[in-house]
Amino acid sequence: MATIRDVAKLAGVAVSTVSKVINKYPNVSEETAIRVNKAIEELKFTPNVVAASLSSKQSGRVGLLINTDIQTSAIDEISMQYLKGALHKAQELHIEVVPIFFSMLEGMDEAETEKYLKSQNIKGLVIYGMSKDDYVLQRVIAREQFKCVLIDVPIINDSCSHIGIDHRQAQKDVARKTIMENNTFNGQVLYISGKKNGYVSDERLQGMLELAQELELAVSLHCGEFSEKKAREITFKYGSMHDIIICASDMMAIGAMRALTDMDIFRPVCGFDGISLMGYAGKQMNTVKQNFYDISSEAVAECSRLMGGSLGRKIVAPHELVRIEYLDMIV
Amino acid sequence: MATIRDVAKLAGVAVSTVSKVINKYPNVSEETAIRVNKAIEELKFTPNVVAASLSSKQSGRVGLLINTDIQTSAIDEISMQYLKGALHKAQELHIEVVPIFFSMLEGMDEAETEKYLKSQNIKGLVIYGMSKDDYVLQRVIAREQFKCVLIDVPIINDSCSHIGIDHRQAQKDVARKTIMENNTFNGQVLYISGKKNGYVSDERLQGMLELAQELELAVSLHCGEFSEKKAREITFKYGSMHDIIICASDMMAIGAMRALTDMDIFRPVCGFDGISLMGYAGKQMNTVKQNFYDISSEAVAECSRLMGGSLGRKIVAPHELVRIEYLDMIV
DNA sequence: TTTAGCAGATAAAACGTTTTCCGAAAAGTA
DNA sequence: TACTTTTCGGAAAACGTTTTATCTGCTAAA
């Protein structure tokens, strides 16, 4: 394996110069940089990430907290996209992303968690699937020891950024589209919301309410707690009295759809997230597609920036509306 | 953060002695070990994995090759289990597992792949979801530069182990169970097999054939190529003429089930893998549950053993038969 | 008594980077 | 010219482990 020393020798410069070129530091003349890059090319040199990680106080590694307490394949799909996006961006930025399952932190208190992460040289974290007051989250951001990028958790300070789509707008968009498409519609909407007092749920709910006001609709609200089962039950009870069922998540939409099928009635249902499992639920459905891959990529990039000294901020990711159908899914 | 040096100072021994204690090397008296461990305890010392990884020529890290070319949530679920098992075992063994997506290796030739992996200090690989002649696999095991543990790929040599369930027996078991349960059965079995010339497919097919001989059944064989769509088509064509449909994978079972629903006829279907998506496919189904988590844990442990110098071998993992049903799935 | 062997412990050299600090040369200023 | 500033490049010290080679004593064999 070629090391940075070999490159330096070949290019006729010092090791530190090579390092500067690799990391795009200033104070290197263009011609030197070219010579170094040529040497890198020639030797097919790839920096040893481990050594870099050990040496660098600054860059450190980024931990990706993976939440799979809820065991469904929907979550798996989302987590997988997050993981993939994070790892690809890491490769691009020459940093390391370390996946960490919640269950690996089990039984550790705040101090132990911190020790564990630090022993892994983790300086920043990308976190998703948590509510603001989650104890794992609290534990980790407690003493501002780590730079954090929170997906869909609205905490912003010097060392924390917040990234996510505009849930309110997205809910509004997809609900509007579903309503517009349905010509037999006469104003009876059943909205199954997420968790009470959850940021994401509240935003989506607000979006729905704003739309209702705008279009002068009557909306019945029921809390589905992001649970497929709960949504199923709610639909059994109230589905038949409404013209359209709008759910704050795909999993709940699937629950609702199942219930409708079991009752042998049809109602347009719309979901939120854009997971492929939707395709298996029954008829076609509108949903909001979140681009988990891109969000995670951006989160890692932002985390790297934070670790480099920039301050926390809010990043809004784009969303799109899609229609998912079984026959499109299968390969 | 406490370092190994702090521990050494507190325990009144040399740094190297502490290292030996941590890694359970010989040539340390029991009393010294106790003293060191007490110091470790007191300082709540956790070794820095990155430094260890850099320093150690021997231990190195284990790469987990993640195959998500096929984009379905079924694959995601399996990959997630593999990942989780691998990471947990790594934590237990104090080694590092590095997930690597196929797409991260894209565009690299054999030499580049090797360089890339080595620059990450990767000494061993756990690989799944590949056929024996896959080019990525070839690239990686080509010059025996890495210790490999192959899940469901039957290659064994000094630096390669092979792990997996007994697919032949498992297929036999689940098919027998399904046939026995079906009292209206009169001997017409439709078997939808996997890929031609794939190890796993061949094993499962053999299992089916052995059972057929044993029970004196007539079996129609069709190659579904592990494709949901293909299985769907096969079922449309031949499903109605058979009493039972046995598929070599859950995804194909789902395709078959869908087709039956669309044709509005019922036939018992059985699958293979035990993925939760099955629950969404329709009626209940028998399947073989592979414990991906355990298999991956064991694979990582074996990889660590290989890196420590032991020779490649075959490991057979247990399987179980289960019945998956929608209402059991949902939370 | 000498020699060899061995267990237990250590000092120091790796591992491959990053980063700090320090020169030297070039450029700008008075 | 003399002095300051800027730009570029290099030497060397980190980073926190593992591992090698060496050094004690000590016991057993010759």
* pLDDT tens readout for residues A155-207: 998 889 999 999 999 999 999 999 988 876 677 899 999 998 889 999 999 99
Decide if B280 and A275 are in contact by the 8 Å CB cutoff: no
Identify the closest residue of chain B to A259 by CA–CA distance: B327
Put simply, whether A77 touches B (Cβ < 8 Å) is: yes
To the nearest whole number, what is the mean pLDDT of chain B? 87
How many angstroms separate the CA of A110 from the C1' of C10?
Answer: 36
How many angstroms separate the CA of B27 from the C1' of C8?
Answer: 6
Cα separations (Å) of A193 from A19, A204, A209?
Answer: 52, 8, 11
Do strands A122-127 and A160-165 pair parallel, antiparallel, or not at all (unpaired)? unpaired
Cα separations (Å) of B239 from B71, B195, B232?
Answer: 27, 20, 9
The reply to whether the CB atom of residue A3 sits less than 7 A from any atom in nucleic acid chain C is yes
What percent of chain A clears pLDDT 70, i.e. is strictly above it? 93
Name, in order, each residue with C-beta under 8 angstroms of B229's C-beta and a sequence gap of 6 or more: A330, A331, B255
Q: Which residue has the higher pLDDT, B134 or A20?
A: A20
List domains and CATH numbers for chain B: 4-57 (1.10.260.40), 60-165+291-318 (3.40.50.2300), 167-289 (3.40.50.2300)
Question: With contact defined as beta carbons under 8 Å apart, do A188 and A242 qualify?
Answer: yes
- Measure B88 CA to nearest chain A CA, in Å: 7
Name, in order, each residue with C-beta under 8 angstroms of A216's C-beta and a sequence gap of 6 or more: A187
Put simply, whether A277 touches B (Cβ < 8 Å) is: yes
B50 contact residues in A (CB cutoff 8 A): 50, 53-54, 61, 120-121
Per-residue pLDDT at B106: 83
User: Where residue A294 falls among pLDDT bands split at 50, 70, 90?
Assistant: very high
Number of Cβ atoms within 10 Å of the Cβ of B250: 27
How many angstroms separate the CA of A29 from the C1' of C29?
Answer: 24
In this model, does residue B256 exceed pLDDT 60? Answer: yes
The angle at the Cα of B105, spanning B48 to A37, to the nearest 5 degrees, equals: 80
Find the mean pLDDT for residues A264-270: 91
Q: B162: which strand partners?
A: B150, B314
What percent of chain B clears pLDDT 90, i.e. is strictly above it? 48
Number of Cβ atoms within 10 Å of the Cβ of B30: 7
Q: Best of A1, A57, A80 to disrupt the B interface by mutation (most B CBs within 10 Å)? A: A80
How many angstroms separate the CA of A260 from the C1' of D14?
Answer: 66
Q: Name the residue among A49, A103, A120 with its Cβ closest to that of B49.
A: A120
- Measure A168 CA to nearest chain B CA, in Å: 26
Identify the closest residue of chain A to B4 by CA–CA distance: A119
Put simply, whether A261 touches B (Cβ < 8 Å) is: no
pLDDT in tens, B40-97: 988 888 888 888 888 876 567 899 999 876 556 667 889 999 999 999 998 888 888 9
The reply to whether the CB atom of residue B57 sits less than 7 A from any atom in nucleic acid chain D is yes
pLDDT in tens, B121-132: 888 999 998 888
Three-state secondary structure of B206-237:
HHHHHHHHHHCCEEEEEECCCCHHHHHHHHHH
To the nearest whole number, what is the mean pLDDT of chain A? 87
Question: With contact defined as beta carbons under 8 Å apart, do B116 and A46 qualify?
Answer: yes
Cα separations (Å) of A318 from A77, A165, A247, A298?
Answer: 19, 6, 20, 12
Q: What is the pTM of this model?
A: 0.84
What sign for the dihedral angle of Cα A19, A25, A28, A33?
A: positive
A51 contact residues in B (CB cutoff 8 A): 54
Identify the closest residue of chain B to A251 by CA–CA distance: B330
Put simply, whether B111 touches A (Cβ < 8 Å) is: yes
Query: Protein footprint on strand D: which nucleotides are under 7 Å from a CB?
Result: 7-21
Nearest protein residue by Cα to C1' of nucleotide D7: A27
Q: Following DSSP, what letter does each residue of A295-327 receive, concatenated? A: HHHHHHHHHHHHHTTPPP-EEEEPEEEEEE-HH
Q: Which residue has the higher pLDDT, B226 or A142?
A: B226
Do strands A319-324 and A218-223 pair parallel, antiparallel, or not at all (unpaired)? unpaired
Find the mean pLDDT for residues A69-73: 58
Determine the distance from the C-alpha atom of residue B43 to the mean position of all C-alpha atoms in its chain, rounded to a whole number. Answer: 38
Instruction: Out of A182-196, B275-289, B298-312, pick the least confident.
Output: B275-289
Distance CA A111, CA A118 (A): 11
How many residue contacts between A and B have a Cβ separation below 8 Å?
Answer: 137
User: Where residue A139 falls among pLDDT bands split at 50, 70, 90?
Assistant: confident
What sign for the dihedral angle of Cα B91, B92, B94, B98?
A: negative
Per-residue pLDDT at A175: 94
Q: Name the residue among A53, A121, A280 with its Cβ closest to that of B280.
A: A280
Per-residue pLDDT at B305: 83
Which nt sits closest to B16, CA to C1'?
C10
Name, in order, each residue with C-beta under 8 angstroms of B111's C-beta and a sequence gap of 6 or more: A44
In this model, does residue B247 exceed pLDDT 70? Answer: yes
Per-residue pLDDT at A95: 85
Which nt sits closest to B7, CA to C1'?
D16
User: Where residue B139 falls among pLDDT bands split at 50, 70, 90?
Assistant: confident
Per-residue pLDDT at B59: 64
Find the mean pLDDT for residues A101-113: 86
Decide if B331 and A229 are in contact by the 8 Å CB cutoff: yes
Q: What is the token pair recorded at B261? A: 């629903």
Question: With contact defined as beta carbons under 8 Å apart, do A123 and A146 qualify?
Answer: yes
Question: With contact defined as beta carbons under 8 Å apart, do A131 and A199 qualify?
Answer: yes
- Residue closest to A68 by CA, chosen among A96, A117, A104: A104
Per-residue pLDDT at B94: 81
Distance CA B299, CA B288 (A): 20
Put simply, whether B229 touches A (Cβ < 8 Å) is: yes
- Measure A179 CA to nearest chain B CA, in Å: 27
Element (H, E) at A24: none
- Residue closest to A235 by CA, chosen among A248, A225, A222: A222
The reply to whether the CB atom of residue B308 sits less than 7 A from any atom in nucleic acid chain D is no
Q: Name the residue among A50, A112, A119 with its Cβ closest to that of B120.
A: A50
Instruction: Out of A57-61, A88-92, B171-175, pick the least confident.
Output: A57-61
Put simply, whether A99 touches B (Cβ < 8 Å) is: yes
Put simply, whether A123 touches B (Cβ < 8 Å) is: no
pLDDT in tens, B195-234: 988 899 999 999 999 999 998 888 999 999 998 889 999 9
Do strands A269-270 and A147-151 pair parallel, antiparallel, or not at all (unpaired)? unpaired
Per-residue pLDDT at A261: 87
B76 contact residues in A (CB cutoff 8 A): 73, 76-77, 79-80
Which nt sits closest to A2, CA to C1'?
C16
- Count helices and strands (H / E) in chain A: 13, 12
How many angstroms separate the CA of A29 from the C1' of D2?
Answer: 28
Q: Which residue has the higher pLDDT, A253 or A60?
A: A253
Distance CA B242, CA B191 (A): 10
Which nt sits closest to A54, CA to C1'?
D15
In this model, does residue B185 exceed pLDDT 70? Answer: no
- Beta-strand ranges (E) seen in chain A are 61-66, 96-101, 122-127, 147-151, 160-165, 188-193, 218-223, 244-247, 269-270, 285-290, 314-317, 319-324
The angle at the Cα of A1, spanning B133 to A34, to the nearest 5 degrees, equals: 110
How many angstroms separate the CA of A128 from the C1' of C12?
Answer: 46
Decide if A73 and B77 are in contact by the 8 Å CB cutoff: yes
In this model, does residue B308 exceed pLDDT 80? Answer: no
Sequence length of chain A is: 331
Identify the closest residue of chain B to A331 by CA–CA distance: B229
Query: Protein footprint on strand C: which nucleotides are under 7 Å from a CB?
Result: 7-20
Instruction: Out of A48-62, A80-94, B295-309, pick the least confident.
Output: A48-62
Per-residue pLDDT at B5: 92
Q: What is the token pair recorded at B181? A: 């349960």
Question: With contact defined as beta carbons under 8 Å apart, do B60 and B123 qualify?
Answer: yes
Q: What is the token pair recorded at B122? A: 């990767």
Distance CA B77, CA A71 (A): 9
Element (H, E) at A113: helix A110-119
Per-residue pLDDT at A321: 92
Per-residue pLDDT at A71: 54
Question: With contact defined as beta carbons under 8 Å apart, do B188 and B244 qualify?
Answer: yes
Q: Following DSSP, what letter does each residue of B90-109 receive, concatenated? A: HHHHT--EEEEEGGGGTT--
Question: With contact defined as beta carbons under 8 Å apart, do A126 and A84 qualify?
Answer: no
DSSP 8-state secondary structure symbol assigned to residue B311 = P
